[in-house]
Structures are given as C-alpha cells and as structure tokens.
Amino acid sequence: MVREYIIGRSASSAVKVPLDKNGVSGTHAKISIGDNGAWMLCDLDSTNGTYVSDDLGVFHRIYSKEISEDDIIRLGSGGASSFVFTAHRVLDDADDYSYEFRQLRRRLAERRTSEAAMEKRMEIYGWLTRLSGLAAVGVCAILDALGKISVNANVRYMLIAFAPVVVGFFFRGNTKTLKKLRRCRERIFICPKCGKPLSEYDIEDGQCSRCRAK
C-alpha cells in the first residue's frame, strides 16, 4: 500500500509547516512511499514551487521527481518565508532530528575525504609545476649533448620561464574544484530545524548550537 504525506501550512497536512513560512502553500507538496520503497515527490500546484537540492547544495525546481529519503527539499522560492527539510522528516517525530544529524555526519566524512584527496593531488601538481622548469633545462641539455639540436639561449630562457605556467594551466581546474567544494559547505551543512549553517563541531556533537535541535 502506498503511503502519502501532504506537506504544507494547512492544519490537515501530514507534515505541518509553521504558519510564519508564508511562502508555503496550504497543501504545497506530497511525498509518496511505494511498497517497493521508492520515494516520489510531487508539487501540488503550489504558488512558489518545490525544489530539491543537488550535491553542491543548489536547489532545482521540480514538479514530480523520484527522490531518496536523504534528499533535501525546499518549499518556496527561498529565504525566511520558505521551508527546508529532509525527505525523511515525514517519518520522524516533530522534534527528533537525530536521523538528519547522522546523515550530516556521513556527508561531512565524505566531504573531508574528498577534500583531503584533492589537497594531496594539488600538492603533487604543485611539485610538478615547480620542477617543470628544471625539466626544461634537462631537455635542453640532453639535446645539446646529442648535438642534433642546438637550443638558442633566448629560447632556453623562455622554456624555463614558461614551463611552470603551462603546466600550472593544465592543473588549474583542481584549485577551482576545491574552492567550489568548500564554498558549498554552508549550503549543505545547515541545521535541519532552523536552517542556519552548522559548524563541524555542531555536526559531530549532533546538536545545533543555536536552536538546540538534536
């Protein structure tokens, strides 16, 4: 049997949204859970739309979409008048956020692993960039020793000067990726109750230091 949960500001909603969230309709959206465990989110012709967050914390508007219970959903177009929650909230008690904090700890561990791996690669690429000038010197010396190609002094200096620039150009994407990962932390690691950014200590502690949700 399919279980259905209506979410909105209406008193009859299975998940009641606070009345001060005036960007949320009375019956805003519906989550259905099938016998096979599949979760489906449907917008119920709401005024300000239903959105689902991607892995970078960016919300995308949906009308009907299969989701997971860990997906983060926003009812409304954003700001204080919107309501943000994890899909699993339809199964939890009103003041029990332990499930959300467990998922946040898991995501934090995954993000730390990704960032550490990226930093390691950047360290290696940094050494390759710095050594590329010496590599250019070595190549020129080998060509001179073989006596087949004589590298002009000015060309030699240009190779030594520009080799690190060229090598660094190919690795620039890793720096941008790492910066993007760190910037999106404040969009992903937010309190499941008050929506404020959480510190790593809050996540590890399993409690928001502002609203005390846990």
- pTM exceeding the 0.75 threshold for the entire prediction: no
Report yes or no on 182 lying in a domain.
Answer: yes
**Within this chain, do residues 191 and 108 fall inside the same structural domain, yes or no?**
yes
Tally of structural domains, the chain: 2
Residue among 198, 159, 176, 196 at smallest CA distance from 80: 196
Strands 59-62, 64-67: pairing is unpaired
Give the structural domain span for 123.
Answer: 98-205
Grade residue 210 by pLDDT with cuts at 50, 70 and 90.
confident
What's the one-letter identity of residue 169?
A: F
Whether 188 shows a pLDDT value over 70: the answer reads yes
Tell which of 62, 91, 120 closes a domain: 91
113 is a domain residue: yes
Q: Average pLDDT, stretch 192-210?
A: 89
Q: Is the pLDDT of residue 194 over 70?
A: yes
Give the model confidence (pLDDT) of 67-93 as tens digits.
Answer: 999 999 999 998 889 999 999 998 887
Task: Please check whether residue 87 is in contact with residue 70, taking contact to mean a CB–CB distance below 8 angstroms.
Answer: yes
* pLDDT for 153 beyond 80: no
Are 22 and 79 within one domain? yes
The Cα–Cα gap between 65 and 118 comes to 32
Give the tens place of pLDDT for each residue, 3-25.
999 999 997 888 888 888 999 99
Contacts of 91 (CB under 8 A, 6+ apart): 69
The answer to whether position 214 is within a domain reads no
Q: Does residue 211 fall inside a structural domain? A: no
Torsion of CA 88, 27, 35, 192, to 10 degrees: 0
Of 91, 113, 140, at which residue does a domain stop?
Answer: 91
Q: Which of 91, 115, 134 marks a domain boundary? A: 91
pLDDT in tens, 87-110: 999 888 778 899 999 999 998 998
